[in-house]
Each structure stands twice: as C-alpha cells, then as structure tokens.
Structure 1
C-alpha cells in the first residue's frame, strides 16, 4: 500500500457524519473515563471524583428509573460485566445520544471536526495500546494464566468452570502464553501514526480472539473486550475502501494519511512531543512497577507448602482414627491449606498448621509428627492412649500424569488424543 498526502482539511462533513462524530466522541470519551481499567498513567487520580459520583448515581438510576435491583454494594471488581457496569454503560449511551443532539443544535454551523476527530483517534489509539500492552506483559510473564496447579491436575474435567477450562488451556503452555502476550504487546504500533493501520489490524484480530474466548467461555470481561474490538474498527473506518480494493478487488490502493492538526508554533510542536514523551515514560515506569509488584504477589500467592505434592493416603497398613477412612488423597499445594478428596472423589479444603522446625503438621484437628522418606513419601505419627498411630502418605509424581509427561515432539507416528 502507498501513503497519500494529508487530505484536504476544508472538506465539509455531511449532517449524518457530524451527528455520528458527536455521538461517538461523547460515548468513547465517557467510556474511557469510566472504564479505564488503569490504562492511562495516574488517570484514576483525575477521575476519582467522577467515579465517586458514578458509584452513587448508577444505583439510584437502576432502582428508580429502570426498577432493576441488584446488590448495590457490587461495582466493578474481578468481573467487568457486573450489573453496575451494564447500567453505567446504558447511562453512557443515553448521555451520548442526548449530548449529540444538544451539541448539534448549538454547533449546527460548523462544517467539520477534523481536529476533533484526530484527537479522538489519538485517545482511542492510546487506550487500546495501553490496555493490550498491560495484558500482554502479564501473559508474557505467565502471570495471568499460570501453569495448572496440583489441585487442577487432580480435578476431574466436570468440575471445571468454562473460564477455568480456558485458563488451564492457556496456562498449560508457557510458550503459548508468551506468544499470545507478544501479539497483544504489538498494539504498541498504535502509538505511532505511521504504523497505526498495521497496529489496528493486528489489534482487531487479537480483540476478536479475546472477545470470542470471553463470550464462549463465560469470562466476565465481555464488555471491555467488545469495546476494544469496536474501537479497533473505529480506527480502521477511514481505510475500509482502500482495504476492500486491495484485498477483495486486487486493485492498487492508497492509505490516506491521518489528518494532523497544524502546529504553526515551534513551541506548540515541542509541547506536543514533550507531552507524548512524558506520557510514554510514565506508562513505561508504571508497567515496570506493576511488573515488579505482580512478580512479588505471584511469589507470595504461589508460595509452595514445604510438603508440596500429591499424596495417596495408604489405609492398608492399619485402621486410622485420626484421619477418616473415606479420605483417599491429599494435596499440599500452598501454605496454610490442603485439599482432600474422598472415596467419591469429592473435594474438601482443610486448614493445616505446619511447623517445619518441630516437623509437625496439624490436620483434621490432630497434630502429627511427620517424617519425609527418601522416595518422597511422608509418614505421619500420632501418639494416642500410649499407642503410636502411623499413617503413610504415598507420593504421586505429577510428571507421570498424561498431561505433564507429553512434551513437544517433531515426530509423532500416531496422535495421542486422550
């Protein structure tokens, strides 16, 4: 594709184009302010009063105007598709519609919004790029969808939620997680005008995939992923004819360069460049800080138990009084808890107290002395009525499980679809 010179800035817009722009401008700007998700550096500080007012107004609007009741204490949390989010989106759409009509009446003599459109695309470009870079980096560090835990490995497929299944699928392969994150990181191309179209095309494909996963695996980020998809489409609207001619007609096509506001003053151009530099530096700094914080949290959250492993409880040696005979396996994954599965393979979470210095572990309200055997087995001993009760925990090697023992192979004589 070739690039054409900047289009004529005196072109008059049609009434429908101006009305659409006014609606889109209010809608997109409101969405970016209220659904920022930490995309812009320090933006949450500036929008804090607006968000505080929204937390009050949305429940009132829901109750008195829509007559829709939900737990009004719930706002945007781990789910981005809460009742609060959907009601607030409806309010944004209504405000954009009413605002566009009022704007059209007040400013009906204006012939075009070339400069306003340019700055709106800048906001959209940076919003998409910052959002996807943030998600991309955490995927590249294998943090958003981590590798399957021991608990996951022992969980039957029927116990998985759709989202849990998707997270396990992505998390199984560190390489795939890195690749997906890298593709999302390529949205950095949106930060530069000359690579904006390429960045928007890559982002569009990425957003479609993310949106499909969120829709079909019930991941509660449907609203945001749909918005990112629509924002990418918005950036590509001026180039649809050129792409149609190139991809569908096989004809030569030109990309019209973005209309850039004319900065006659050298100082204004300097201010623009410095402002962009500061914004990118702030974003990069915050990403680095966030990366460090996420790494610390992951290490803390994923801190393994000193007894880390999957163990089969051996009831064949003697009848146990301290541990129910219905217990069949126990998983020591992270500190403070263990997961037990019974004869029906039903899971139960057990709180434990582990003292590595005294080599004791409290389980089922009983304190045992424990000894680790060379082969990985653990022997629990408990003295009761002058008798020593001994329970053996047989170590299960997770690397011998079908999911883990199958590595990458260039040559496969037969498929291994189990």
Structure 2
C-alpha cells in the first residue's frame, strides 16, 4: 500500500492502543454478524442451562427486545475482556495503522450501505406511506407514539423524500475515501435526528440507530485534528494523503471502476425493489372499485335492526376498503387497530358482489351484494359468518378530511392550527 492515511506515523500511547483494541473487538462482535451471533448463541444456551433462564430470540420487527439488550451487554463485556487479553499478549506493536485502515474501510461500506437502504426507502416512500383511510378515522389518542410518527412522516412527501435524499447523499459520500469525512458528518446529523425520533416516539430501533450514529462519530474522529484546526482554531489544514489498497495504479483504477459499477448496480436494485414494493402496497398501489369509507347509517342483522350503541360488539360502524385488496370492518366499540376485523376482499363489479376472505387460511367468511342508491349512499346485504346482514351506508374518502383536503398554501392569512 502506498501513501499514508490520516493516521499519524508516530507511536500511539497506551490509552489510545487500548481504546482501539476495545473498539475493534466491539465492532467485530456487533457489525460482523457471524462472529457476534454465533458467540452469543453459544453463551445464551449455556446461561439458559446454568441458571434455568430464558434468553431467546423471537423475530418481531423490534430491534429493542430484551434479547437485544442482553446481546449488547454481552458484546460490551466480551470486547472489554478481549481488549485486556490483547493488551497482555501484544506488547511489541507501537500502533495499528494497517488494521485501522481496513476497519475504517469496512465501517464506511457498512454504514454507507444502510444509509442507501434507508434512504431509498424514504425517497420512494415505502418506509412511510401516506395515511391510510383506516388511520384517518381512528382516534388520535388511541394511536401509539410510533403510529403517530409514521403518520406524521407519511403525510408529507416533501419532508420524507428530503430525509431520504440526505441519507442517500451520506451513503454515497461514505463510499469514497476522499469524501469520507463529509459523508460521516452528514450521516451523523441524519442519524442523530433518527435516533432522537426513535427515543421520542418509542420506535424500537433505538439501539441500532445509536450504533450507526456511533460509527459515524468514529469516522469523524479520524479527522478530528484537521476539523478542529479548520473550524475552531482557524489554522491552515494540509492535504490529506489517502492510502490506496494496491501499489499498482492500474489495480487501483480497476478497483474504483468495479466499486462504481457495484454502487450503481446496488442502487439500481434498491430503486427497482422500492418501485415494485410501492406498486404492491405503497402509495402507488391501485385503488379497488369500492375504495372508500362506508359509514353504516342503518344496520340489520338477522332481521333485527341494531341501534348505534357505542358498546355494541355486533353492529358494524364502518367498512373501509383500502388500496390493494384489504378491507377493515369497524364495530361500534372499535377504537384501535386491535379491535378491527381485517380481511382480504375480492370485488366482482359485474355481479356487484364482494367476497371477504380470512388472511390466515384464505377461507371465505362472507359475501355481500352492493348497489348504489345515490351519489354517496350504498347498500350492502348478504351473508357474513352465517349471519344475514344488511346495511345502508354513506361513502367518504380521504378528500373529505381537512388534514388531506387543505393541502399546502403559500399565503395563509390566519393560522389554521386545529
């Protein structure tokens, strides 16, 4: 390898070497999945046998489970033990520039990859989708903090796409050593905002977002002297010499070309998958023929008219046909997602008939005929779970809600904070 990195050629002091050993071990256990996962699996099984405790992994979409905190504690303690052992064994090396070079390289690509993944999911809006019809009629007070954050982000295309572009920019800058520090600074700012959102809205990605922020801080720290001299001490900063992986210029050029092709290919794949996902379940998902909210004005079950009592567990309040094939049924006592009846719907527009299917086993649970009585009123009748039902409804959709219909205005004579 030629040239020097940002690292000084002078020997490191004992504290610097110990901190490097600890951080290297911590990174090896936490961002090299095979190493950390295998070791923790072995240790957790031993602990389960010795103490008759349960440290089990259950995939739930949360990154802040008890298992994850156990794993973090294991990683921190094991890295400390490894650092002490390394210090006792290795007393000859004065510095670890070469190891740090490859560690920094791996962290750049690791961090950059996640920035691109998360960034494109915001730019194409698959992570935060537009508020669904169901979310618009659920009481605000019954939303979870995370659900509120998702609605807030999904409502604004501008803010969500801007957030994604910042993450994509950070990811691309991190891919190249010359723009590493700028990419790390952008990445740290972006991830600080994400981490604070996760903390403020109880979004269960707190540990991972903090880890990414920590890695960005590490990359910034590699250039801390130059940054302090430039931004604070107003001192001249010399050119940074970048270490190249090979001595041959041709080999380094080929490496850059291969890396460029890999970045373009990976980015193209993420964009393709994002657009495909958006068509399947995102904002671009097609609306079904009966898309809308149908509020039951009258509800008849087995020839018995049920009054709109708020505690009634049988009477329907709303039928909501979402984008795609999802349909949610509100009972009178439905106040959150857990109270809804959720099914897959197939509409035959020629027969004017809707079939409802269970998500769990695809069995048909009901079939209703529908007909339009005027521009906004519809009647549904048929068999649902062995009951004969009929309901007269009033249709609405997102355009009937001020949150959606008000839109953006450059000129506002009065604030509309409702």
The two structures have a TM-score, normalised by structure 1, of 0.81
Residue 281 of structure 1: how far off its partner (Å): 5.1
Query: What is the DSSP-based 3-state SS (H/G/I as helix, E as strand, rest coil) of the residue aligned with 1:254?
Result: coil
2:325 is equivalent to residue 335 of structure 1: yes
**Superposed, which structure 2 residues align to 1:6-85 within 5 Å?**
10-34=9-33, 47=34, 53=38, 56-57=41-42, 59-64=44-49, 68-70=53-55, 72-75=56-59, 77-85=60-68
Q: Is the 8 A contact 2:116 2:267 kept in 1?
A: no
Q: Is the 8 A contact 1:312 1:329 kept in 2?
A: yes
Q: Is the 8 A contact 1:115 1:261 kept in 2?
A: no
Q: Structure 1 CA distance, aligned partners of 2:325 and 2:305?
A: 20
Aligned residues: 393
Q: 1:65 to 1:33 in 2, by over 3 A?
A: farther
2:318 is equivalent to residue 325 of structure 1: no
For residue 122 of structure 2, what is the aligned residue in structure 1?
Answer: 139
Q: Is the 8 A contact 1:136 1:185 kept in 2?
A: yes
Name whichever of 370-379 and 396-405 sits farther off: 370-379
Q: Structure 2 CA distance, aligned partners of 1:83 and 1:345?
A: 29
**Superposed, which structure 2 residues align to 1:264-303 within 5 Å?**
264-266=247-249, 269=252, 272-273=255-256, 276-277=259-260, 279-280=262-263, 283-284=266-267, 286-288=269-271, 290-291=273-274, 293-295=276-278, 297-298=280-281
**Superposed, which structure 2 residues align to 1:101-112 within 5 Å?**
101-112=84-95
Residue 407 of structure 1: how far off its partner (Å): 1.1
Residue 373 of structure 1: how far off its partner (Å): 4.6
Name whichever of 220-229 and 268-277 sits farther off: 268-277
Residue 160 of structure 1: how far off its partner (Å): 0.5
Q: Structure 1 CA distance, aligned partners of 2:79 and 2:389?
A: 72
Q: 1:306 to 1:59 in 2, by over 3 A?
A: farther
2:190 to 178, 181, 206: 206
**Superposed, which structure 2 residues align to 1:229-240 within 5 Å?**
229-240=213-224
**Superposed, which structure 2 residues align to 1:209-228 within 5 Å?**
209-228=193-212
Q: Deviations over 1:136-187 (max 9, x none)?
A: 1010111101000000000111111010000000000111111110011111
Residue 108 of structure 1: how far off its partner (Å): 1.3
Residue 209 of structure 1: how far off its partner (Å): 0.2
Q: Which segments of 5 or more consecutive residues in structure 1 lack a partner in the other structure?
A: 35-46
Residue 366 of structure 1: how far off its partner (Å): 6.1
Residue 208 of structure 1: how far off its partner (Å): 0.4
Name whichever of 87-96 and 401-410 sits farther off: 87-96
Q: 1:204 to 1:344 in 2, by over 3 A?
A: closer
Q: Structure 2 CA distance, aligned partners of 1:20 and 1:13?
A: 11
Q: Is the 8 A contact 2:381 2:389 kept in 1?
A: yes
Q: 1:153 to 1:121 in 2, by over 3 A?
A: same
2:337 is equivalent to residue 348 of structure 1: no
For residue 185 of structure 1, what is the aligned residue in structure 2?
Answer: 168
Residue 381 of structure 1: how far off its partner (Å): 4.2
Q: Structure 2 CA distance, aligned partners of 1:7 and 1:381?
A: 74
For residue 180 of structure 2, what is the aligned residue in structure 1?
Answer: 196
Q: Structure 2 CA distance, aligned partners of 1:253 and 1:263?
A: 30
Q: Structure 1 CA distance, aligned partners of 2:320 and 2:216?
A: 45
Q: Which segments of 5 or more consecutive residues in structure 2 lack a partner in the other structure?
A: 309-315, 357-363
Name whichever of 356-365 and 20-29 sits farther off: 356-365
Q: 1:163 to 1:237 in 2, by over 3 A?
A: same
Q: Structure 2 CA distance, aligned partners of 1:352 and 1:137?
A: 29
Residue 289 of structure 1: how far off its partner (Å): 5.1
Q: Structure 2 CA distance, aligned partners of 1:366 and 1:345?
A: 23
Residue 57 of structure 1: how far off its partner (Å): 2.1
Residue 278 of structure 1: how far off its partner (Å): 6.0
Residue 309 of structure 1: how far off its partner (Å): 0.6
Query: What is the DSSP-based 3-state SS (H/G/I as helix, E as strand, rest coil) of the residue aligned with 1:358?
Result: coil
Query: What is the DSSP-based 3-state SS (H/G/I as helix, E as strand, rest coil) of the residue aligned with 2:289?
Result: strand
Query: What is the DSSP-based 3-state SS (H/G/I as helix, E as strand, rest coil) of the residue aligned with 2:392?
Result: strand
Query: What is the DSSP-based 3-state SS (H/G/I as helix, E as strand, rest coil) of the residue aligned with 2:307?
Result: coil
Q: 1:336 to 1:246 in 2, by over 3 A?
A: closer
Q: Structure 1 CA distance, aligned partners of 2:270 and 2:342?
A: 37
The two structures have a TM-score, normalised by structure 2, of 0.81
